[in-house]
């Protein structure tokens, strides 16, 4: 399963989290987030990691030029769109990016009808990410989606579950839902951008216990 740990800002933490088993790391490119990390610092982390590890830049309503420039500087392999980017924007971004860059579209699930938004993106992105809705925050909220709302969710694209996942609730989530990947940030953190490696260890222990 894809395990993405998001909100990295420190090279030693990134390396340790990969050693523990993460295959995907996320970097917040949203300037107003307390987890923001500039492109040059992402690059320093990215080039220290094995090439097989996904390096995901998280963007929200950035311009095409900002995203393409950051992808090049930071050596990203994936772009996560966490704002209100339209299907047409995704098409144009696809044209603007190198062909091997993965496009992940995040959806903030407020009610079951929020899932209807997914349809228009299926031919335009590679991966879906379902996160919790919060009225003031775009992401990193620590809030869970009502998993009941996702019971009937199926997709032709791989999808990742995000939103308030922790070592304590991950196995409950995975017993109810069968995502292709999981994405954790605040649930394995001491403070925004400062990961708690003990919690990351607990996460992988929990995941190993059900394999």
Ligand X SMILES: O=C(O)c1ccccc1N[C@@H]1O[C@H](COP(=O)(O)O)[C@@H](O)[C@H]1O
Candidate list 6, 29, 90, 183, residue with the active-site label: 6
Under rule CB under 6 A, residue 185 binds ligand X: yes
Coil vs helix vs strand at 184: strand
Alpha-carbon gap, residue 160 to 178, rounded angstroms? 9
Which candidate, 117, 102, 53, 59, places its Cα nearest to that of 83? Answer: 59
Q: Which stretch binds ligand X (CB under 6 A): 8-16, 70-78, 179-187, 198-206?
A: 179-187
Interactions with ligand X, residue window 39-98 (CB under 6 A): 58, 60, 80, 82
Nearest approach in angstroms of CB 151 to ligand X is: 20
Which candidate, 71, 66, 78, places its Cα nearest to that of 25? Answer: 78
Among 37, 187, 200, 203, binds ligand X (CB under 6 A): 187
Among 5, 97, 145, 162, binds ligand X (CB under 6 A): 162
194 is catalytic: no
Cβ closest to ligand X, residue 43 vs residue 82: 82
Q: Give the up-direction half-sphere exposure of residue 37: CA atoms within 13 A in the CB hemisphere.
A: 27
6 is catalytic: yes
Alpha-carbon gap, residue 147 to 207, rounded angstroms? 18
Among 39, 57, 140, 181, binds ligand X (CB under 6 A): 140
Alpha-carbon gap, residue 42 to 36, rounded angstroms? 10
Q: Which stretch binds ligand X (CB under 6 A): 11-19, 45-53, 181-189, 194-202?
A: 181-189
Cβ closest to ligand X, residue 32 vs residue 99: 32
Among 163, 167, 179, 181, binds ligand X (CB under 6 A): 163
Coil vs helix vs strand at 40: helix
Candidate list 91, 131, 146, 149, residue with the active-site label: 131
- Which chain residues interact with ligand X by CB under 6 A? 6-7, 26, 28, 30, 33, 35, 58, 60, 80, 82, 106, 129, 131, 138-142, 162-165, 183-187
């Amino acid at each position: 399963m894809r395990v993405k740990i998001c909100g990295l800002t420190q090279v030693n933490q990134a390396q340790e989290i990969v050693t523990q088993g993460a295959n995907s790391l996320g970097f917040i490119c949203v300037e107003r987030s307390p987890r923001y990390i500039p492109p040059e610092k992402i690059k320093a982390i990215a080039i220290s990691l094995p090439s097989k590890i996904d390096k995901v830049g998280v963007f929200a309503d950035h311009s095409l030029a900002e995203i393409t420039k950051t992808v090049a500087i930071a050596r990203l392999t994936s772009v996560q769109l966490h704002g209100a980017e339209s299907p047409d924007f995704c098409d144009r971004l696809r044209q603007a990016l190198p062909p091997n860059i993965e496009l992940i579209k995040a959806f903030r699930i407020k009610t079951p009808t929020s899932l209807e938004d997914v349809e228009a993106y299926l031919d335009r992105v590679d991966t879906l990410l379902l996160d919790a809705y919060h009225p003031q925050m775009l992401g990193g909220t620590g809030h869970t989606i009502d998993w009941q709302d996702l019971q009937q969710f199926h997709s032709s694209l791989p999808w990742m579950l995000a939103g308030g996942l922790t070592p304590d609730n991950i196995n409950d989530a995975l017993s109810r839902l069968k995502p292709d990947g999981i994405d954790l940030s605040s649930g394995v953190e001491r403070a925004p951008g400062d990961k708690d490696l003990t919690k990351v260890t607990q996460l992988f222990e929990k995941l190993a216990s059900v394999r």
